[in-house]
């Protein structure tokens, strides 16, 4: 079994995902559109709500 590298997502994608989630778009649709895990969608949505866009700056 090889070593699996984690994918890093740019701040712009994180913001788009979080905004889509806040707008009420279904989470499974967001996951398919941006190719991210459901847990990341929830995490980024929570971060946006708590800290605003400042958390997603590169």
CA distance 52 to 55: 6
Residue 31 lies inside a defined structural domain of this protein: yes
Residue 4 confidence (pLDDT): 80
pLDDT at 58: 66
Question: Which pTM does this prediction carry?
Answer: 0.84
Q: What is the structure's pLDDT at 25?
A: 97
Does position 42 have pLDDT exceeding 80, yes or no?
yes
CA distances from residue 34 to 14, 48, 54 in whole angstroms, order as listed: 9, 17, 21
Domain of 24?
11-56
Distance CA 1, CA 19 (A): 37
User: H or E stretch including 31?
Assistant: helix 27-34
Percent of the chain with pLDDT over 70: 97
| CB under 8 A, 24+ apart: contacts of 7-10 | 9/36, 9/40, 10/58
The answer to the question of residue 38 being in a domain is yes
Residue 2 lies in a domain: no
């Amino acid at each position: 079994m090889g070593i699996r590298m984690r994918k890093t997502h740019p701040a712009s994608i994180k913001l788009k995902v979080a905004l889509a989630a806040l707008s009420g778009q279904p989470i499974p649709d967001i996951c398919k559109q941006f190719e991210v895990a459901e847990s990341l969608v929830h995490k980024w949505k929570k971060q946006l709500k708590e800290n605003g866009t400042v958390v997603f700056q590169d």
